[in-house]
């Protein structure tokens, strides 16, 4: 049994890509996209016609609506190749506007429904895990629109997402690792901070154990992996979203893979339940320099790629 098949025994495998032609070989259950992945895809010759088609067909609409139609087109193509759900992201520039995020999410869902997609079972709306984004997710979940809270770097974000009843969270393992490695500089000891001691892995494990201990139904999906060791150390997490490159490495390896996270074992842990109102959430996030910096950086990066995508569309028009 290769490591990819071994991982599937305990964890739902998700493909982290906009390149839907890569999906068949890995047979993931779900798939996730974001503005950066879609931008990367439409710059390839085989996907550029989707961008051209969206502009030609909907050129009279506002640019943001054309982009949503392009995202949904990618999403529907992906859903034709996988049995599960696709995550489609709301524009990161709305990360601090609850009402605008809700409106944009509802428009994306309406476009999927117009394409005869069962959105309750097959679509997750990705939203940055700011306070405003979490509140938007709370409102959307109450309407039966399921959400994936992304750019999640701190325990406080995870606690607030669980309390809001969001469907799924995506803690960013690799970006947490990146920050700590850079902060440590020459003092960083790669061997000592690998596997279960990796700071990104430790963050996801803390969240996973907290959710399982307190019966929080929100799914935990580790994301943003830098190496195979991070994935192996999180075998047993609800879901892991993995790049095609790392999926290929897993499929090529027959090294043993152990069950690392255990929901039943978490029940025996002594973990107090936390309640965070908005001031407490903002203070806890502010106290976490890594999470504060990586959240802001991630929003800026996704926003910049949304602008680049708009520029490509304007060039086509």
Three-state DSSP state, 11: coil
Active-site residue, 126 included: yes
Alpha-carbon gap, residue 99 to 127, rounded angstroms: 13
Alpha-carbon gap, residue 306 to 49, rounded angstroms: 18
Distance in angstroms between the alpha carbons of the first and the last residue of the chain: 50
Alpha-carbon gap, residue 42 to 121, rounded angstroms: 27
Q: Which two tokens stand for residue 56?
A: 């030609």
Catalytic residue among 44, 56, 126, 212: 126
Other CB atoms within a 10 A radius of the CB of residue 186 amount to 4
Question: Please, where are the H alpha helices in 220-288?
Answer: 228-232, 244-252, 263-266, 278-287
Compute the Cα dihedral for 183, 188, 190, 196 and give only its sign. Answer: negative
Distances (CA, A) of 136 to 149, 156, 283: 10, 17, 20
Three-state DSSP state, 243: coil
**Which residues are part of the catalytic machinery?**
126
């Amino acid at each position: 049994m290769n490591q990819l098949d071994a991982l599937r025994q305990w964890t739902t495998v998700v493909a982290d890509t906009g390149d839907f032609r890569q999906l068949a070989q890995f047979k993931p259950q779900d798939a996730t996209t974001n503005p950066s992945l879609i931008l990367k895809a439409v710059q390839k010759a085989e996907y550029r016609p989707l961008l051209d088609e969206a502009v030609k067909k909907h050129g009279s609409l506002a640019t943001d609506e054309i982009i949503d139609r392009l995202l949904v087109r990618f999403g529907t193509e992906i859903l034709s190749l996988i049995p599960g759900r696709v995550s489609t992201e709301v524009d990161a520039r709305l990360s601090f506007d609850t009402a605008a995020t809700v409106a944009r999410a509802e428009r994306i869902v309406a476009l999927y429904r117009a394409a005869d997609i069962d959105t309750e079972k097959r679509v997750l709306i990705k939203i940055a895990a700011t306070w405003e984004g979490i509140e938007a997710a709370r409102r959307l979940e109450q309407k039966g629109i399921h959400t994936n809270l992304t750019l999640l770097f701190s325990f406080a974000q995870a606690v607030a997402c669980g309390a809001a009843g969001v469907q799924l969270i995506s803690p960013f393992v690799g970006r947490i690792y990146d920050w700590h490695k850079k902060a440590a500089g020459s003092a960083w000891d790669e061997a000592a901070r690998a596997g279960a001691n990796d700071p990104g892995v430790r963050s996801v494990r803390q969240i996973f154990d907290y959710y399982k201990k307190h019966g929080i139904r929100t799914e935990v999906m580790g994301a943003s992996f830098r190496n195979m060791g991070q994935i192996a150390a999180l075998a047993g997490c609800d879901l892991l979203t993995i790049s095609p490159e790392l999926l290929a490495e897993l499929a090529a390896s027959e090294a043993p893979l152990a069950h690392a996270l255990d929901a039943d074992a978490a029940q025996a842990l002594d973990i107090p339940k936390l309640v965070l109102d908005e001031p407490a959430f903002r203070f806890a996030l502010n106290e976490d320099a890594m999470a504060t910096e990586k959240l802001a950086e991630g929003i800026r990066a996704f926003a910049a790629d949304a602008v680049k995508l708009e520029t490509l569309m304007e060039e086509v028009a």
